[in-house]
Amino acid sequence: MRRITELVAILSLILGVSVLLVLAASILLPGIEVRQLAFFYLYTTINPWFQNYTVNSPEAVTAIVWDYRGLDTLFETSVFYLALIAGLALARGLFSETPQGSFNEKTHGLTTIVKTVTRVTAPMIIAVGASIGLHGHLTPGGGFQGGATIAVIPLVFIVVYSTLFLIARGVTSNKMLVLRSIGLLGIGFTSIAAFLIGLAIGRFAYVFQNMPKPGAVVGLPADINGALISGTLWFFNLFEMIAVAAGFTIAFIILLLAGRGGSGGR
Amino acid sequence: MDAEFINTYLLLVTLTSLLANAIISIYGLFFKPHYTKKVIALTILSDTMNTFAIYLGYRTWVNGVNPRPPVLTSTPTEKSISEFTARAVDPLPQALVLTAVVIGLAVTLFLVFLGYILYTHYKTLDMREIKKLKG
């Protein structure tokens, strides 16, 4: 009886949704025009004739993420940081015993073929991640995506070489926490960079200001020697990349250590 | 068949599959007894909703010209900017989805650590067993 009730419930859900879909087809199909707000973002993301509104970045998404709605992203970064701290606090009893002994090329890890391929591809992955992160204001991508790409490297090395290798090379969760804090401090300082410059030269400037605005002429340069950096966007992407890569490395190290040692399972 | 019909049809197929995905993941979230499967269903649900948000910012094809991503690839002149605003999709849902993905990832990370704690405490991740054990 219970099975039949469940079946009827699921079937009626599907039928109801399909009726809704038919009704929504006229509303939910995308139109020819975008919303007025989107039009504003697209029109001013790089526009030499609207110097008071533009971000000087051809990538509208990064412009929204770090300039128009930069405060959102700052707090989103802090949410990620707090979740990581919560994870560390939850895992505190699970990896009390750090793995002992030193790394041995012969006995630890996978075969020589896998190790050699990993050695060859690791710099390439780092280069791709850095390119995604540091070109975030020009092409799709940004600090978060670049950092997530770079964080693949420690994961691959843990799987291929073992955690001992990473610890022998000095990649410990404490050092990564320091690196992550440096990234977060960089994000914090970049967000008040224009304000600090304004304080130093005695002009009015806003917190989270990027380009010069009417009434607050202090701003960061849009390009350095002809290379577009879009003011604060490049620095935000750089520090976010460092913070995210270090944060993911902490998570991987703890998750892959947690199974051993402590009172946990195998 | 003209292009407009095929376009509408494909968009509706996308919408339907997104909704089916959402329903299946909600089912998995509520009825699958294992903790890991619940976490996986939650991830699928959040990804579905993110795709749906991006879909809301999409534009239709005009005379066989498809919409382009919100990235200006040419030198900013009056003409290229007006062409860009006429054809680029809405960047705001994409920016919000970027935020949502990061927060979803943080939540998933927290849930995974919580799963570790659950396992060390109860020696199982089956929710029926955990419900029976109480405390």
- CATH code of the domain covering residue B85: 1.10.287.3510
Residue B34: pLDDT band with limits 50, 70, 90: very high
Coil, strand or helix: which one is B96? helix
Give yes or no for residue B47 having a pLDDT over 90. yes
- What pLDDT digit, counting tens, does each position of A19-70 carry? 877 777 767 777 788 888 888 898 888 888 888 888 888 888 989 988 888 8
Is residue A73 less than 8 Å (CB to CB) from chain B? yes
Residue A263 is predicted with a pLDDT of 42
CA distances from B56 to A24, A64, A111, B6, B88 (A): 12, 17, 48, 19, 14
Share of chain B above pLDDT 90, in %: 19
Whether A43 is in a domain gets the answer no
Q: Which domain holds residue B34?
A: 3-65+78-133
> What pLDDT sits at residue B1?
64
Q: What is the mean pLDDT of residues A92-120?
A: 76
Which two three-digit tokens encode residue A242? 């460092």
**Cα angle A210-A186-A46, degrees, rounded to a multiple of 5:** 25
C-alpha dist (Å) from residue A195 to A201, B44, B127: 10, 42, 52
Interface contact A64-B91, CB threshold 8 A: yes
> What are the b/e assignments for A9-35, b being 16+ CB within 10 Å?
eeeeeeeebeeeeeeeeeeeebeeebe
Among A26-35, A50-59, A185-194, A201-210, which range has the highest average pLDDT?
A: A185-194
Q: Which two tokens stand for residue A173?
A: 């969760």
Number of domains in chain A: 1
- Mean pLDDT of the A206-214 span: 85
State residue A259's pLDDT score.
55
Between residues B72 and A21, which one has the greater pLDDT? B72
Question: Which is it for the CA torsion A12, A14, A19, A23, positive or negative?
Answer: positive
User: Chain A partners of B11 at a C-beta cutoff of 8 Å?
Assistant: 29-30
Residues of chain B with C-beta less than 8 angstroms from the C-beta of A34 = 57, 59, 88-90
CB contact under 8 A, A64 and B23: no
> For residue A216, what are the domain limits?
57-258
If you measure CA to CA, which chain A residue comes closest to B113? A87
Q: Is residue A46 part of a domain?
A: no
In a domain, residue A222? The reply is yes
Cα(A259)–Cα(B12) distance, integer angstroms = 45
Instruction: Kindly indicate the confidence band of residue A183, based on its pLDDT and cuts at 50, 70 and 90.
Output: very high
Q: Quick check: is B55 in a domain?
A: yes
Q: Examine residue A41 and state whether it is found in any structural domain, yes or no.
A: no
Whole-prediction pTM: 0.83
Q: Which long-range contacts (CB under 8 A, 24 or more apart) does A207-210 make?
A: A208/A70, A208/A71, A208/A74, A210/A55, A210/A67, A210/A70
Q: What is the reported pLDDT for A98? A: 61
pLDDT for A149 equals: 92
Asked, for residue A144, whether it belongs to a domain, the answer is yes
Cβ separation B59–A30 shorter than 8 A: yes
Kindly indicate the confidence band of residue A146, based on its pLDDT and cuts at 50, 70 and 90. Answer: very high
What is the pLDDT at residue B37?
Answer: 93
Average pLDDT of chain A to the nearest whole number: 84
The distance of B3 to chain A (nearest Cα, Å) reads 15
Among A85-94, A145-154, A182-191, A201-210, name the one with the lowest average pLDDT: A85-94
User: How does A240-253 read in b/e, with b if 16+ C-beta sit within 10 Å?
Assistant: bbbbbbbbbbbbbb
Q: What is the pLDDT of residue A261?
A: 46
Q: Is the ipTM of this complex over 0.95?
A: no
Contact (CB<8Å) B112/A61: no
Decide if A202 is inside a domain.
Answer: yes
Sign of the four-CA dihedral A170, A174, A180, A181: negative
Comparing C-alpha atoms, which of A222, A237, A213 is closest to residue B76? A222
Report yes or no: B66 at the A interface, CB cutoff 8 Å. no
Q: Is A191 a member of any domain? A: yes
Residue A90 to chain B, least CA–CA distance (Å): 6
CB neighbours of residue A124 within 10 Å = 9
Q: For chain A, what is the largest distance between any 2 Cα atoms, rounded to a whole number of angstroms?
A: 78
Query: Does residue A264 surpass a pLDDT of 50?
Result: no
HSE, side-chain direction, 13 A CA sphere, residue A99 = 20
B64 pLDDT above the threshold of 80: no
A42·B70 Cβ contact <8 A: yes
**Domain-embedded: residue B24:** yes
SS3 A106: coil
Copy the structure tokens of residue A80: 């990620």
Whether A67 is in a domain gets the answer yes
A240 touches chain B (CB under 8 A): no
Q: Is A204 on the interface with B (CB under 8 A)?
A: no
Residue A248 has pLDDT above 80, yes or no: yes
Residue B96 in domain: yes
A46 Cβ under 8 Å from any chain B Cβ: yes
Tokens of A19: 């009726």
State chain B's mean pLDDT as an integer: 86
Let me know if residue B42 belongs to a domain. yes
Contact A30 B94 (CB under 8 A): no
In a domain, B61, yes or no: yes
Contact A86 B94 (CB under 8 A): no
Task: State residue A255's pLDDT score.
Answer: 79
Q: Give B73→chain A minimum CA distance, Å.
A: 7
Counted residue by residue, chain A has a size of: 266
Q: Is A139 helix (H, G, I), strand (E, B) or coil?
A: coil
**Which residues of chain A does B69 touch, with a Cβ-Cβ cutoff of 8 Å?**
140
Tokens of A51: 């110097």
Nearest-Cα distance to chain B for A203, in Å, is 31
Residue B13 domain-assigned (yes or no)? yes
Task: Assess whether pLDDT exceeds 60 at residue B122.
Answer: yes
| Tally of structural domains, chain B | 1
pLDDT at A177 over 70: yes
Instruction: Using an 8 Å CB-CB cutoff, list chain B residues near A49.
Output: 78
Q: Which residues of B are less than 8 Å from A265 in CB distance?
A: 119-120, 123
Neighbours of A193 (CB within 10 A): 21
**Model pLDDT, residue A258:** 59
SS3 (DSSP) at A118: helix
Q: What is the token pair recorded at A236? A: 């935000």
Residue of B nearest to A12 (CA): B23
Say yes or no for a CB contact (<8 Å) between B109 and A142: no
For chain B, the distance separating the N- and C-terminal CA atoms, rounded to the nearest angstrom, is 63
Confidence of residue A237 (pLDDT cuts 50, 70, 90): very high
Do A13 and B23 count as a contact with CB atoms less than 8 A apart?
A: yes
Cβ of B109 under 8 Å from any chain A Cβ?
yes
> Any idea what DSSP says for residue A216?
B
For residues B47-65, give the mean pLDDT.
85
Residue A260 has a pLDDT of: 53
Name the B residues in 81-100 with CB < 8 Å from any A CB: 81, 84-85, 88-92, 94-95, 98-99
| Residue keyed to tokens 């291929």 | A160
Cβ-contact A81, B104 below 8 angstroms: no
Position A262 scores a pLDDT of 43
The mean pLDDT value for A173-190 works out to: 89
